[in-house]
Amino acid sequence: MAVGLTSTADTLVRMRLATLQHDLRDQNRVSWIASGAVVGLVLAGGTIWVSAGGDNDLLVVALAVWMLGWVVGPLFAGGGDETVKPEYFTMLPLPPRTLSAGLLSAALAGVAPAVSLVALLSLAVAGAKLSIGALLIAIPAILLQLLCFVLLSRLAVAVYGLLLQVRTGAILAALVNAFILAFTAQGWALIAAYITTDVQGAMASGARIAPSGWGLVAVESAGRGDWLHSLACLAGLVVLAGAMFTGWSALLVRRTTATRSGVRPRRLLTASSASGAAGAKEVRSWTRDLLYGHRAVFAIAYGLFFCMMPLAVGWNAMLPWAGAAAVIMGGSMFANLYGADGTAYWSTLMVPGSSLPDVRARQRAFLLVFGPPVALISVLLTWWSGTDTWPIVLTVVPALLGGAAGLIVLSSVYAAVPTTDAHKRSGNPLNAGENAGEATGLAYVMIVLIALTAAPALVVALFASWWGVPVGLASAVLAWWWGGKAAAERLDQRGPELVTLLRHGRTTGEQTGKSSWTAKLDQLPRAKRHLANFCLGFGAIPLFPQAIVPAVFKLTENPAKVWFLALYAPSVWQWPIIAGMAALGLGMYAYGGFIYYQASKLKARPDSTDRTSAQDPLQQAS
């Protein structure tokens, strides 16, 4: 048994390292991995700096944040790193515990665990400041804490996948995820409320009770000479790791052995026209596919949480924009409708003249799902806020709805991303396949594009008040009509190519355009590529939370300072700092865009092709 466990773990680790080596051949993936590693190491360095300062209350809260990152991070990154999937080993005679131990070993062989290990060295720094015994206790505490982080992440993904297989579970998971993602953007309001009520000590006490604080408590106890308490904390980490490992193993068994039976239709399609049949089919997709329902609830809940969190500091000016935020997020979530269909689109393509009815049906379904709740949210929260923003809200919301309805079908046709077919989904519904990063990038681009569709009507509403409402309605109808028409024409012309893409993915011989673009990027210096990706990925930090939000706070005379740099400076320097932060954010976006524009003007070298998919990475481990 021990030999089998060791050989299985060794094989899976080598498979994981082979896939990592394969990823490092793709310059775009290298850019994202390097950017994430740099940011992680900066945060890890900050954690060590906190421990060196001797503020253990702040350190234990920082460790709790690291644990939270391990829990929620995979939920927004395509289901976490599952290059080595459990389903690959279903037919092998491996005991569940052996397979789980091997997968855990593979999960530990990556960039994220290495960065977290650096952050956990803060325990050794804290122990060294206390005593030699505390430093010795810190060594097993670091290893056990890292093991618990990774196990907690794997267990969270497994539980989340289980919830997505039940309708109520999918809704609950959507609410939790929406709150967490909104907290990453608007959590400053809740933090400000906590700070003003003087509960820092309570937060530190709670963080020590959480598993993320047990390692630090063990180190502190050893520093005081309380060896029994110290060993009890370490034993608690061992028991917790064993319990999580057992639970994860059980869920893996269920994932790799559960059978999925067909569902008997509750009501047959009785439509008498092509438009009616397409509409009925699309409505059934939205009501029966749990991922569709999950994403819709997530988008609406995100809009509510995002705009209601500032109420914690008494700022209600964002309430009217909850509906608009829900539409923008919803459009980004459904920017790959045909990619989600997968090879099932073949049945639609084989019906002559089906493109336009199918596209219009998808647009109607989107408006039916998001239109009524967004309208209700916008009206109620605008009335609740008491602000005089009715002309702007009634202008922007219809414009966004129409713009999103037009753009989601356009992006689904022109920028379709191959994903796993619905009937081939693994036990982890979060996993979007090998193109998860591309799907995420498409969602980010759609957020910007959908917001821009309301810009003309917004400008009219700002300068001409109620005259913006008819302009918003006109732009909504135009975007809906033109977007659907262009998408249908594209399907009529390139429908078979789309089916081929969704069935076979982008192989080396089938993605000339992508290979050409990769070849152009390869001609730029590596430092420029990495810097451009960094600027595009993090330009929002100085622009929005350090420039726009503090500017709004100053204009509304809000006293909260939170983490806004400008508001801590003398009043004479506040506006210059805000202007500097805005210039920095816009400059980062401008630099990244300019570098990519330069790449687009280059000529691809004929001998520079994308060979990253020429060999199955899992075969490289043999």
Cβ atoms of 110 and 20 closer than 8 Å? yes
Mean pLDDT of 74-85: 60
**Dihedral of alpha carbons 359, 364, 367, 368, sign:** negative
Lowest mean pLDDT among 147-156, 169-178, 372-381, 467-476: 169-178
Cα–Cα distances in angstroms (integers) from residue 15 to residues 169, 393, 474, 495, in the given order = 33, 53, 55, 37
Domains contained in the chain, number: 2
Whole-number CA gyration radius for the chain: 26
Per-residue pLDDT reduced to its tens digit, 195-235: 555 555 666 777 788 888 899 999 999 988 889 999 999 99
* Same-domain check for residues 244 and 364: no
237 — pLDDT class (breaks 50, 70, 90): very high
Helix (H), strand (E), coil (C) string for 526-569: HHHHHHHHHHHHHCHHHHHHHHHHHHHHHHHCCCCCCCCHHHHC
* Same-domain check for residues 157 and 219: yes
Residues 6 or more apart in contact with residue 77 via CB below 8 angstroms: 436, 440
* Same-domain check for residues 308 and 215: no
Indicate the residue among 474, 505, 536 that finishes a domain. Answer: 505
511 — pLDDT class (breaks 50, 70, 90): very low
* Same-domain check for residues 193 and 285: no
Structural domain containing residue 39:
2-257
* Same-domain check for residues 411 and 311: yes
The two three-digit tokens of residue 41, written as one number? 């190491």
Q: For residues 434 and 512, give the distance between their C-alpha atoms in angstroms, rounded to a whole number.
A: 19
Mean pLDDT of the chain: 78
Q: Is residue 448 part of a domain?
A: yes
DSSP tag of 325:
H
522 — pLDDT class (breaks 50, 70, 90): low
Q: Is residue 200 part of a domain?
A: yes
The two three-digit tokens of residue 227, written as one number? 């060896």
Q: Is residue 355 part of a domain?
A: yes
Residue type, 89: F
* Same-domain check for residues 401 and 291: yes
268 — pLDDT class (breaks 50, 70, 90): low
**Angle ∠(7,241,96) on CA atoms, nearest 5:** 40
* Same-domain check for residues 224 and 294: no
Q: For residues 36 and 483, give the distance between their C-alpha atoms in angstroms, rounded to a whole number.
A: 35
Q: Please give the residue that has the higher pLDDT: either 505 or 227.
A: 227
482 — pLDDT class (breaks 50, 70, 90): very high
* Same-domain check for residues 426 and 287: yes
The b/e string for 96-120 (b: 16+ C-beta within 10 A; e otherwise) is bebbbbbbbbbbbbbbbbebbbbbb
Q: For residues 343 and 301, give the distance between their C-alpha atoms in angstroms, rounded to a whole number.
A: 31
Residue 80, pLDDT score: 53
Q: For residues 320 and 317, give the distance between their C-alpha atoms in angstroms, rounded to a whole number.
A: 7
Does residue 264 register a pLDDT over 60? no
Cβ atoms of 533 and 32 closer than 8 Å? yes
Residue among 235, 243, 244, 245 nearest 215 (CA)? 235
Cβ atoms of 307 and 381 closer than 8 Å? yes
Lowest mean pLDDT among 180-184, 208-212, 351-355, 618-622: 618-622
Lowest mean pLDDT among 126-130, 295-299, 339-343: 339-343
* Same-domain check for residues 18 and 58: yes
Indicate the residue among 472, 505, 538 that finishes a domain. Answer: 505
Residues shown for the chain: 622
Q: Is residue 452 part of a domain?
A: yes
Strand (E) positions, 162-202? none
Q: Is residue 617 part of a domain?
A: no
Q: Please give the residue that has the higher pLDDT: either 119 or 443.
A: 119
Cα–Cα distances in angstroms (integers) from residue 136 to residues 133, 498, 512, in the given order = 5, 60, 57
What is the residue whose two structure tokens read 């693994």?
Answer: 426
* Same-domain check for residues 15 and 135: yes
Q: Is residue 11 part of a domain?
A: yes
Residue among 163, 105, 125 nearest 45 (CA)? 125
* Same-domain check for residues 170 and 41: yes
Measured from the Cβ of residue 619, the count of other Cβ atoms closer than 10 Å reads 9
Q: Is residue 88 part of a domain?
A: yes
Measured from the Cβ of residue 541, the count of other Cβ atoms closer than 10 Å reads 14
Q: For residues 331 and 403, give the distance between their C-alpha atoms in angstroms, rounded to a whole number.
A: 9
* Same-domain check for residues 304 and 239: no
Q: Is residue 527 part of a domain?
A: no
The two three-digit tokens of residue 499, written as one number? 């089916």
Per-residue pLDDT reduced to its tens digit, 530-586: 788 778 777 777 877 788 777 767 765 665 565 567 777 788 888 888 899 889 988
Per-residue pLDDT reduced to its tens digit, 335-355: 888 887 777 777 777 888 888
Helix (H), strand (E), coil (C) string for 570-620: CHHHHHHHHHHHHHHHHHHHHHHHHHHHHHHHCCCCCCCCCCCCCCCHHHH
Indicate the residue among 189, 224, 257 that finishes a domain. Answer: 257
